Amino acid sequence: MEKDKIHKKCLCNEPPGSERLIELMLDNEATEDQNKLIQVALNSCPKCLQNYQTEIALRHQLKTSMANNRLPEHVIQAIRHKIRETAQ
């Protein structure tokens, strides 16, 4: 019953939601206050913990599946060119 009350007030029920804050945390872009909120949510909300575990698994899968893949050189050059264009 108490967990239901906590879940109703949880980050996963408020914009931008726990998913976005978890992404910020994992990217080291969350503020100290956001990190504290995320930690409370992870410790008290099964849905937030599941979102966190899913994001970790997804990132791991992407890293391992892309580890041996490299973009063709012409694609890399095109991206660099586009970045230079937009930076000017």
Q: What is the b/e burial string over 19-57, where b = at least 16 CB atoms within 10 angstroms of the residue's CB?
A: eebbebbeeeebeeebeebbeebbebbeebbebbeebee
Read off the DSSP letter of residue 64: H
pTM comes to 0.63
Q: What is the pLDDT of residues 22-42, one digit of tens each?
A: 999 999 999 999 899 899 989
Range of the domain at 46: 2-87
Number of domains in the chain: 1
CA distance 42 to 55: 13
What pLDDT, on a 0 to 100 scale, did the predictor assign at position 6? 44
Q: What is the pLDDT of residues 52-87, one digit of tens each?
A: 999 999 999 888 877 777 788 898 899 999 888 887
Mean pLDDT over the full length of the chain? 83
The vertex-26 CA angle with 24 and 31, nearest 5°, equals 45
